[in-house]
Structure 1
Amino acid sequence: MGLQKSVSVTKGKGLHFMHFNTRSLLPKISELRCLISDAKPAAVAISETWLDESVPDNEINIQGYAVPCHDRDREGGGVCVYVHNDIAFNNRLDLQSDCLENLWLEILLPKTKPIFFGVFYRPPDDTKFLTYFEDSISKIRSDCEMIIMGDINIDCFKKEVSLFKDYLHILNLFDLRQLITTATRITDTTSTCIDHILTNNPEKMCQSGTISIGLSDHLLIFCTRKAVRGQVGQHRVINIRSTKNYSKDIFLSKLSSINWSSVYKCTDVNHAWDLFSTILLKIIDDIAPMKQIRLKSRTEPWMDDTILDSIRTRDQLLYDFKEDRSNADLYKQYCKVRNKIQRDIKRAKAEYFSSKIDEHKNNPKKLWQQLKALGYSTKTKEQCKVVLEIDGETCFDSTKVADHINTFYTTVASNLVKKLPLTKNEFSTDSKKIPEVLF
């Protein structure tokens, strides 16, 4: 239920942003990869990652996404953002507060002003959060667009509480609107709205809401910013040969019917090869023409049909419980299935890698590929698409950016020399200054 809905809400045009409190990212990374791979959002903010520097990069990487992180430790807290590789962004460490668990990214889009995208996590017992939160937001110019997501742990259903009133005062101060109005954390006894999406440009949002994903007791929240022409989420398309009408007999028949004398009589080997390859490709094009296909998202190799069916069952149970909060048995069934899925994924993943490592133990290249898949890699977690201002315009084209950087470094020395002041014959043999220097 949840996965299908998450994909459906991202079918429309626009930049799709999501937030999810995972309460430990590592055990849920396989499911998260499936979700992101299918939905293809522009960015997914994660709170309570429970990560530290001991976690290898590949353990949390998702193909096609960069992942800047702000870790705390393996016992709690921490935030990160998965950003689609089509999106150019700057990790604004200058806006990041050491007193908060937060990240600020400056998202750069063609033909529009930068969007400041922030993710925040407030521990329930943090009494100074609002002070630092206000200070962090105040660093961004008022004319800049902001989208802020996070587990703020301030229940919007309890409007009479002083903490909420102080929070609302800050939102009003910076003209921020909270978009989520339904419960985001549901247990057998409570229902609270503590995961928020804030924006100072609500008119640019075309949808927002929650999705029942049974990965934790927090629901996934999302919003969609209106489309920017020529932007994100292009499908990956490849060219392949269609073998629908191919058969070995037809192929051999066509080869035997060709008059190859023009190839045999060639005295130049290069010309003979050109003729041969042209004739052969024409035959292949006739019986196996080229066609374009869109690559479908694939799940993790250890996520078998049994696990995927269990995920659908779990999300449906959570959805049913939301509709009937008085049914305690539904919640117990949901918890039972949720816990079983985590055990099944751990077991399936361990068995998969164990079999692969055993299979490739005599092949160092293949073995190293499997070890890298486990997380033994030297790649960094964050990769950022480079965008430069060239001739007064923001340039997103990677080739032009590379050429501009190359030109800069190959000419920087000569350009600096040209800016040096001219000294006419100061130290020639006839100069009167030589005695002054020497003596």
Structure 2
Amino acid sequence: MISKVRNRMRQGGLSFFLKNGIQFEEKDDLCLWIEGKVDIFSVETVFDENKKMVICLVYKPPSTPSGEFLDLFDDYLCKLLSVKNECIIMGDFNFDLLCLNSYNFQFFNLMLSHGYFPMNRFPSRITEHSATLIDNMFLPSNLVSDSYCDIMIHPGSDRLPVTCTIKQRSPTYEKFRRKLIRDLRLEHLHEFREQISVISWEKVYEEPDPSRALDNFFGIITPIFESACPFKLTRKKERDIPRKPWIDDEVVEAINARKACFFKSLNDSSEESKNEYIRQRNLANKLIRSKKKNYIEKFNEQKGDMRGIWQTINGVIKGTGKLYGLINAITVKGVTVTDKQQTADEFGKFFSGIGSRIKEDTSHGDPAKSDTLFEDNRCEHHKFQFEKASIEELTKIVKNLKSNAAGINGLNLKAFKVVSVYLLPCLLYLVNLSLEVGQFPEALKQAKVLPLFKSGNQQDMTNW
């Protein structure tokens, strides 16, 4: 236990109870101790070798004028902006968030404007005649979705302890944040182009089977691509993650555009580049101010409506993003499946069987009906015949491709376009060979399927 007690007053102070083994350091520069007005005691804890967190314990005496405390606390929150580590603010604030009068609402809005969200939504002090929410924990927005708050009910006291569980970001999570991407810098792409320019494609041209010919094509190009453009490890830094709740994808895009124009103006000292940066900067700043204003107005419009306010908070906490790759278990015929390979196989069977299920639904249980559903519309006297593709057609198709998604072999479209002039004759042979033989290459029948969660029970495959 570490404590800070009042000197001039008879009793009172603030204390931290820390589990044995947790490293900590008192942060005197983040303490604000004005006896009789405000008490703030801060420590920095170390959960592992790299993870540090600042915890601020706050007490507002009931006798302190609310306006004076808000001014002092606003300055303190501005000081926390210089802290690199995540901060948690907790304590007895003596502002009842169940009754948002003038000062209570100002305190509530002050915390939100600095990016801190209240975790406790239940009364922390209950008597026969009143219920108030004056004890709370405030977390930064990037921790809210992984945390939850509880109230411990004790029949012998009207003060209910508030607990908050924050899910520790495990090494697996940090590993997830570190991702491998292809190094597609200019020098690597030039090296890839030079190696492809001297390749002989005889193994492809000599193969009469389309599937084996395409396998030979990938067998030649894939090792060269992996050698010239290797993977590199990247990690999205915390400072690059929007921490303010009003910063959405549109704002991030505007900020990135402003940043790009700024660096361009550094390399190009022309008046045109400077004006372009100023224009983009003004657009980004205007958008940020507008988003922030709209966000705060949501709470102003709902002043006095606690349900509406908490609905807005829950919208921020829960988020509206889609869930990708969060499948821990699924239910198949009443049996829970947790094995990753089996889960992938079951999803494959489910998605590949959609066509047959639609056929059954269309026929209403009569297979003969579905087989003859479109028979009356067939025109047997009209014949369909493929024509051979031309190098001009392939060139136009490659030029119009927009997506940078890589296929099963990992070949990136950006890298492909760099060497397309050397690959198009070989690809033209593969396309025309497939049309001539009437066989679609097996390698192109494979695809990456990423389930997208819709709503409902995540273990039900029909909800993906």
Q: Which has the higher contact order (CA 8 A, sep 6+)?
A: 1
**Does the alignment reach a TM-score above 0.5?**
no
Question: Which structure's residues are more often helix, by fraction?
Answer: 2
User: What TM-score comes out, normalization by structure 2 length?
Assistant: 0.33
Which of structures 1 and 2 has the bigger CA Rg? 2
User: What TM-score comes out, normalization by structure 1 length?
Assistant: 0.35
